[in-house]
Amino acid sequence: MAERCNQPIALHLDHGESVEQVKNALKWGYTSVMFDGSRLPYDQNVAITKQCAELAKVAGASIEGEIGHVAMGDETALTEPDEAEAFAAATGVDALAISIGTAHGYYKSEPKLDIERCRAIAERLPNVPLVLHGGSGTPLDEVRKAIENGIVKINVATEFQDTFLKSVNKNLVALDGKFMPIDKFMDPVVDDCAAHIARLIRFFAGR
């Protein structure tokens, strides 16, 4: 699909769980991979991320790591600036996911981001792009502050999937039991998803 597209495509493995997964993604043409060792002991996270970084480098792809832990239905561990600096130096990652108060999935109450922590990490790592996971449902003024303090990539999955499901439902209800070929059915769903992401991209870019 990437080859057929007339736009430049970045294909990213998010939250890679093993060297094997990263290896496969690189073999299949991913341009960017993440190894997420954020739940592992520090030394193990460093060792495996470093190994993945070396593989990515050989394949000409970029590599993202994570230090601290952005909750995935478990506990958040905020990123320590000292540890982030040491982790980036020890692994050679091209981008670093940090934990400053967001979480994956839906929020039960509005998250409050630790912007001071974000700034402190960015000051230690001026040459390493910082990544914010758990972008879905984060108030946009908080996201704006994070961008102003060093975040350059924002991961949004949950609210995008939510847009997809709601659009499928809306169009299905409108169809009222009549048949429609699936490709034709999907056209307005794809338009809704594209519009959602376009709005976010414009906001992130400050336009």
What's the farthest any 2 CA atoms get from each other in the chain?
60
- Candidate ranges 20-28, 115-123, 127-135, 144-152; the one touching Zn ion (CB under 5 A): 127-135
User: Residue-wise over 3-40: b if at least 16 C-beta within 10 A, else e?
Assistant: eeeeeeeeebbebbeeeebbbebbeeebbbbbbbbbee
Residue 14 is among the residues annotated as catalytic for this protein? yes
User: Of 38, 133, 142, 167, which one interacts with Zn ion (CB under 5 A)?
Assistant: 133
Three-state SS string across 181-199, please? CHHHHHHHHHHHHHHHHHH
Indicate the residue among 95 and 189 with the shorter CB distance to Zn ion: 95
Q: Which of 14, 74, 187, 191 is catalytic?
A: 14
Sole window of 41-49, 113-121, 151-159, 177-185 interacting with Zn ion (rule: CB under 5 A): 151-159
Using an 8 Å Cβ cutoff, are 167 and 193 in contact? yes
Chain residues 14-73 in contact with Zn ion, contact rule CB under 5 A: none
Binding residue count for Zn ion, defined by CB under 5 A: 2
Helix (H, G, I), strand (E, B) or coil at 103: strand
What single-letter amino acid sits at 133?
A: H
Closest residue to Zn ion using C-beta atoms = 133
Q: CB under 5 A: which stretch of 74-82, 135-143, 154-162, 164-172 binds Zn ion?
A: 154-162
Minimum CB separation of residue 155 from Zn ion in Å reads 5
Catalytic residues: 14
**Chain contacts with Zn ion (rule: CB under 5 A):** 133, 155
